[in-house]
Amino acid sequence: MPREHKILLVEDDDGLRYAMQRALERAELRVDVAVDGREAVQAINNGGGYCCVVLDMLLPSIHGSSVVAHIARVSPKLPVVAVTGYPDRVLFADPADRHVVKAIFPKPVEPSDVAAYVRSRCARETADEEAAQ
C-alpha cells in the first residue's frame, strides 16, 4: 500500500484483542488499541488519523453503540467495522448512526478475515481520496 494505514482496535477481551492486533499488523496496518469505550472516544477525540475503527459492540464503560454515535457526530466519514457476539441485536442510539458501520462480523470471528476486510477498505478509501484530488 502506498501509505501507512492506521487502525483503532477497540476490544476488551485480552485474547481476542491480541489475536486481532497481530492479524491487523500482519496485514501491514498500524494499530492503536483501546480496551473500552472511554479509551476509544478519547483516541477519536485526539484525532488519531485512523482509516478505520474495529469496534467490539459490547464494551465496559461506554457501550459500542454510543461509540458509534460519537463517531457519527465527530467524524462521520470514519468507517467502523463492528465485531459482536450478538449480530442480530446490534442496536444504535439513533438509526442515522448506522451509516458509519460498514460491516458487522459475528463472534466467534477469524481475525485474519477482519484484517483482510479492513486492509481492503483502507486501500479503497485511499484510492478514492487520491482520485478526488
Q: Residue 4 has what pLDDT? A: 82
In a domain, 65, yes or no: yes
| Alpha carbon distance 12, 22 (integer Å) | 15
Per the structure, the count of domains in the chain is 1
Provide the CATH number for the domain around residue 96. Answer: 3.40.50.2300
82-103 pLDDT, tens per residue?
999 887 777 666 777 888 999 9
* The pLDDT of residue 131 is above 70: no
In a domain, 47, yes or no: yes
CA-to-CA dists, residue 78 to 15, 31, 70, 73, 100, angstroms: 26, 15, 11, 10, 7
In a domain, 71, yes or no: yes
In a domain, 119, yes or no: no
* The pLDDT of residue 114 is above 60: yes
| Alpha carbon distance 40, 12 (integer Å) | 11
In a domain, 127, yes or no: no
**60 or 9, higher pLDDT:** 9
Angle at 12 between CA 102 and CA 57, to 5 degrees: 35
Residue range(s) defining the domain that contains residue 66: 5-111
* b/e map 96-113, b = 16+ CB within 10 Å: ebeebbeeebeeebebee
Q: Residue 83 has what pLDDT? A: 95
